Structure 1
Amino acid sequence: MLLSPQHFQHADHYFDSQLAHQLKRSSRYFWGISSFRFDEIALASNTLKITSLECVFPDGSIVQFESAEESDNSNGYEEPVSLDL
């Protein structure tokens, strides 16, 4: 496999983000939501549309999500995904 500069840039960005999260985790309660944004207009119609989310689970798993589309059905399914709480 031919390695180009973009491969090294991507690897560098990945390790920098991992280090940043590890430093944040140095406190006793390292897990939780650090950033959460949602569409307030969609919320008015009883729909929670998450536009960005950054969180760490208690096991250390990292989730970073940024909505790339402005469509109403960005999950690729015919029907919206709903959760019974």
Structure 2
Amino acid sequence: MRGEYCYTQCDLFGAPIPVRRGRGRPAYVPDEATRRRVVELRRGGATAAAIAVAIGIGRTTLYQFYGAEVRKENDDG
């Protein structure tokens, strides 16, 4: 890049600085494997707090994405 002008943000050596997108954590994306695990833990009698810790998310996120699975009673089917 010697002799070229950098039109975007560049570091002291002229290399472009990667653009950061947004702030904070990336949005949580639920998947079917985690959904099955939530159902399995719920059927085993785990509380919402225990399920959230087991899959590595907060209780609010658990209810937001897996609310129906958490609120279901222990059904047979």
Q: Name the structure with the higher strand share.
A: 1
Same fold (TM over 0.5): no
TM norm structure 1: 0.26
Higher Cα radius of gyration? 2
Choose between structure 1 and 2 for higher RCO, CA contacts under 8 A separated by at least 6 residues: 2
